Structure 1
Amino acid sequence: MEDGEDQMMRKVLKPLEGDENKGEKEDMSLAQFDRPDKHCHAGDHSESSLLIHQLGQDISINCLLRCSRSDYGAIASLNKGFRFVIRSGELYKLRREMGIVEHWIYFSCSLLEWEAFDPIRHRWMHLPKMTSNECFMCSDKESLAVGTELLVFGKEISSHVIYRYSILTNTWSSGMKMNTPRCLFGSASLGEIAILAGGCDPHGNILSSAELYNSETSNWVTIPNMNKARKMCSAVFMDRKFYVIGGIGVGSAKSLTFVNNELYAADYAQKEVRKYDKEKNLWVTLGGLPDQAVSMNGWGLAFRACGDRLIVIGGPRALGEGMIELNSWVPNEGPPQWNLLARKPSGSFVYNCAVMGC
């Protein structure tokens, strides 16, 4: 974002910065698990409040923090206490404070259907199918992962709509609205917050406004406008600041992402990966995209950050049949060396993609 907005962004991001009294924070958060179900019977209460009786509640929670979130669904089925702890979201808050993060890749290759991929366990998972009307199903969509939520933005007959998937309950819901509904915006998330900037309103007007979303409160807050209106732009959080780059109205759009506070771009036309040199204020070509990465002017291919690595999702297609491939590379001083993480048959290309870290 422009320099004039820097002071406001610092105020917005200040609560996200590290806290020297981290241990005190954890103790306070653990206390929130004391009464998982105030309506349960005495015997049930003992079981659920201690979780693992022989270990006690605090040690039980600390064990859960270090489990893979792939296991949380099975753990939640053990008893009321585990189910409450998993679904309350407090575990993920503690994990974030302790720097425990697992990045999963969420993508859609079929209308109303989403899948998730765990790159650590190489595990594919199907999300529940979205329930919506035909207008939303056929509309262009945009997606964003923030906190423990996956947001999918689309359009119904006369209005923009947002569908929200929660990993806490494994369900979809709708009805949430921005202060200024929009599409074709730039967006990025940092922890439990996300910022959406620019785009078009329901009448096609290009916007300069921006909004901040807090996934823990489900609130949308309007923040200061950008200096220029723009749509089809890219956005990133870098060096704890929010940047909006390119877009119609100010220049060409780029597919951007960042790893370890370094900015990278995918040039689909040249099939190249570029890195932004902050000191010299220029883009440097690093090397090529994966050989099998095929797109139509960037459509059908996703370029994302996933923890400390770059991910390219896409694959070869022929006569309506094809493969979805996930290739990854951990940036270093040399040219990209792409490693195939996973592949599976797919009858379509990648419509939407988001990476959730929690």
Structure 2
Amino acid sequence: MQTANEFALSPADASNSKQVHGDCSNSSSSLNPALDQDVSNNCLLHCSRADYGSIASLNKSFRSLLRSGELYRLRRERGIIEHWVYFSCGPVEWQAFDPVRRRFMHLPKIPEIDSNVCFVCSDKESLAVGTELLLFGKDIMSFVIYKYSLLTNLWSISPNMNQGRCLIGSASLGETAIVAGGCDLKGNILQSAELYDSNTGSWTTLPDINTPRKMCSGFFMDGKFYVIGGIGRENRTLISGEMYDMETRTWTEIPSMFPSHNPEAEPPGTTKAPPLVAVVKNELYAADPEESVLRKYDKEKNVWDTIGPLPESSHSMQGWGIAFRACGDQLLVIGGTRYGQVVEINGWVPDAGPLRWNLLGRKYLGNFVYNCTVMGC
């Protein structure tokens, strides 16, 4: 298994590559002048984005196409999407993982983050949308969003939501994302929701959800956004879900949607993590760390069926410290092992046969995953 503790040369760094390699950039619009422009671009669209930094260091036209975002727009139009995992095993240090090449890569450090002790120590959520990674957290007297751009390989401050919040339910679909619920700086549980457009970097207020909730989870399924579980007012555990139809701009409540063991027996303000859910090919799955099993949701019956065990090595504390994500056509469990400071990434493709987890990557990073998201572009 090959792993590399390096990030491919980014577009932002490409202009400096001549310091290392000499000025070998080609001003031609094509890497191969003998090829037609469209043919050349089509070849580049099918290259792995792990190679884009190196290609950009050789060709100015390609570098411009990459930094403008036009390359990823063309990839989306032609259905060419690679899914990478982005996760942190420290408060602010991020890694990327390419599940095809099975390679780990460092993301750059968030600038001036060491001086922002409040943000480092606060609860944080992450969300990948378009070619951006958003990291939600708190400043001293307000909320703050840091944005990592795949186009520049840099972090910056992103415009905040109309209603600042943390402990949200969120998910993305292409270049659009929705956040719902959460709580404000005073700890009030929220009922509001917002939509983010990564093309404009703007937030739009949506109709309120039916039930205020925090520490919930969000996902897209069949083109609709769902928020599920969490904690409601009076600190009661919620097992309901809600579905948002973007065409009709309406929320529909789904009773008893989340497979809680016994919500009535759980103490108020439970310390359990938000539901660990993921969608592959419009099918919803949940990881249950209490019983260490994987479940699948039956949409017609509104029930959950047990499929089999989670990876034996995965370890969590009431669901904290482990991530469960959809990555293209496979489900991933990302978490630390019971012994040692090792994070493992295990994957399973539901259509590939009986449940059998495959070890995709292992790295000494610690054994607790703070945040995790998947970017497809």
2:189 to 179, 202, 206: 206
Aligned to 1:91: 71
Query: Distance between the aligned counterparts of 1:254 and 1:85, measured in 2?
Result: 39
> Which amino acid counterpart does residue 304 of structure 2 have in structure 1?
W
Task: Compute the displacement of 1:213 (Å).
Answer: 0.6
Query: Distance between the aligned counterparts of 2:54 and 2:151, measured in 1?
Result: 13
Task: Compute the displacement of 1:52 (Å).
Answer: 3.5
Q: What CA RMSD, in Å, does the superposition of the two structures yield over aligned residues? A: 1.9
> Which amino acid counterpart does residue 270 of structure 1 have in structure 2?
E
Query: Distance between the aligned counterparts of 1:302 and 1:322, measured in 2?
Result: 16
What SS does the corresponding residue of 2:203 show, helix, strand or coil?
Answer: strand
1:71-150 map, 5 Å: 71-131=51-111, 132=113, 133-150=116-133
Q: How many aligned positions are there?
A: 313
1:210 touches 1:226 (CA, 8 Å); kept in 2?
A: yes
1:283 to 298, 301, 304: 304
1:111 touches 1:138 (CA, 8 Å); kept in 2?
A: yes
The question of 1:274 aligning with 2:254 is answered no
Task: Compute the displacement of 1:134 (Å).
Answer: 1.6
Q: For 1:320-344, what per-residue CA distance to the aligned partner results, in whole angstroms no more than 9, with x for missing partners? A: x321110000114864210111111
Query: Distance between the aligned counterparts of 2:238 and 2:31, measured in 1?
Result: 56
1:51 touches 1:57 (CA, 8 Å); kept in 2?
A: no
1:48 touches 1:82 (CA, 8 Å); kept in 2?
A: no
2:238 to 228, 251, 256: 251
The question of 1:327 aligning with 2:307 is answered no
Aligned to 1:193: 176
Higher helix share: 1
Q: Percent identity?
A: 65
Task: Tell me whether 243-252 or 111-120 shows the greater mean CA deviation.
Answer: 243-252
1:162-201 map, 5 Å: 162-201=145-184
1:48 touches 1:79 (CA, 8 Å); kept in 2?
A: yes
> Which amino acid counterpart does residue 357 of structure 1 have in structure 2?
G
2:218 touches 2:226 (CA, 8 Å); kept in 1?
A: yes
1:315 to 336, 341, 364: 336
2:123 touches 2:167 (CA, 8 Å); kept in 1?
A: no
Q: For 1:135-193, what per-residue CA distance to the aligned partner results, in whole angstroms no more than 9, with x for missing partners? A: 11121111011110111111111111000001110000014211111101100100011
Aligned to 2:9: none
2:293 touches 2:309 (CA, 8 Å); kept in 1?
A: yes
Q: TM-score, normalised to structure 2's length?
A: 0.80
Query: Distance between the aligned counterparts of 1:165 and 1:98, measured in 2?
Result: 25
The question of 1:263 aligning with 2:263 is answered no
1:347 to 340, 363, 366: 366
Query: Distance between the aligned counterparts of 1:251 and 1:335, measured in 2?
Result: 32
Task: Tell me whether 340-349 or 231-240 shows the greater mean CA deviation.
Answer: 340-349
Structure 1 unmatched runs, 5+: 1-45
The question of 1:356 aligning with 2:375 is answered yes
Aligned to 1:32: none
Q: For 1:34-80, what per-residue CA distance to the aligned partner results, in whole angstroms no more than 9, with x for missing partners? A: xxxxxxxxxxxx93444542213222211111110001111111132
2:212 to 208, 217, 229: 229
2:321 to 300, 303, 310: 300
Query: Distance between the aligned counterparts of 1:254 and 1:124, measured in 2?
Result: 26
2:335 touches 2:367 (CA, 8 Å); kept in 1?
A: no
Task: Compute the displacement of 1:199 (Å).
Answer: 0.6
Aligned to 1:47: 27
